[in-house]
Amino acid sequence: MDQVQGVLNYLDEMSEKPVTYTYEPPPGTSPRTGRTVKHEVPIIDGRTAAHQPSLDVEGFMLTRHQSAVANFYDDGEVKRVYYPEMERLVREILGATRVLVFDHNVRNGSKEARARYGVREPVRFAHNDYTLKSGPLRVRELCDDAEAEHLLRHRYVFINVWRPVRGPVEQSPLAVCDARTMRQSDFIATDLVYRDRTGEVYSVRYNPQHRWYYFSRMRPDEVLLLKCYDSDPDRARYTAHSAFEDPATPPDAAPRESIEARTIAFFAPAAS
């Protein structure tokens, strides 16, 4: 089983609720409150693991998928072509009755490319995108009241689908933590402030029991599915993920380019 030593950023203990801004905050305000602490940890190459991780046990899985999208920097094409592709993929893998793709982010490790395309850089901070509070709240925000009440009575799962736009990925690969090695006390509810609303995510405090994985040299025809929330407490409910710097990265490696599609898989029967 191959592994590398990588440095991950965790959130240090703090007394008040942390806050992260998704935009340039007001003058004198830090983009993220709280102190970041670095820990060097072993990160297992999932390609060499004794068995392949799964969504309901470890909280993530790798699979193959060929997309028909020609330009992932074209929002219109992504919504027109990629969203239906991801709906089909997640529905088939999870056996859901319905899948809603409601958002996506394209990331690029090049400062020049981010300025040109208006995209974000990889997130080098251990986190999970939803919390026990914000998971059901997001369903209510995306659906009308009657539909949300019906859907929330049945199982629903937030899945992020992460794909390299170009590959193989050598710089800033994505690490994911085995959900079985995380405890609820490892997660710190954090306000995520947008210009028009405030959401809630989990930052992560360090625990030496955490077992981290990545998949080396991911290609554009591969996707990593990450479970960010599961309403079923008897399965892996969520985990954590973060970009990290692989010490084996060649000095001339191309900046990482990736897209993550945010989806919700519903298991409710059609409303009568």
pLDDT in tens, the chain (272 residues): 899 999 999 999 888 999 988 888 888 788 888 899 999 999 999 999 989 999 999 999 999 999 999 999 999 999 999 999 999 999 999 999 999 999 999 999 999 999 999 999 999 999 999 999 999 999 999 999 999 999 999 999 999 999 999 989 999 999 999 999 999 999 999 999 988 888 999 999 999 999 999 999 999 999 999 999 999 999 999 999 999 998 889 999 999 999 999 999 999 887 65
pTM comes to 0.95
Contacts of 150 (CB under 8 A, 6+ apart): 268, 271
**Number of domains observed in the structure of the chain:** 1
CATH number at residue 216: 2.60.120
Q: Which of 245, 225, 248, 227 is nearest to 236 (CA)?
A: 227
Amino acid code (one letter) for 47: R
Asked if 83 contacts 102 with a C-beta cutoff of 8 angstroms, the reply is no
Range of the domain at 113: 3-266
Position 272 in a domain: no
Quote the DSSP letter at residue 89.
H
Q: Which amino acid is at 261?
A: A
What pLDDT, on a 0 to 100 scale, did the predictor assign at position 195?
A: 87
**What integer pLDDT is reported at residue 196 of this predicted model?**
86
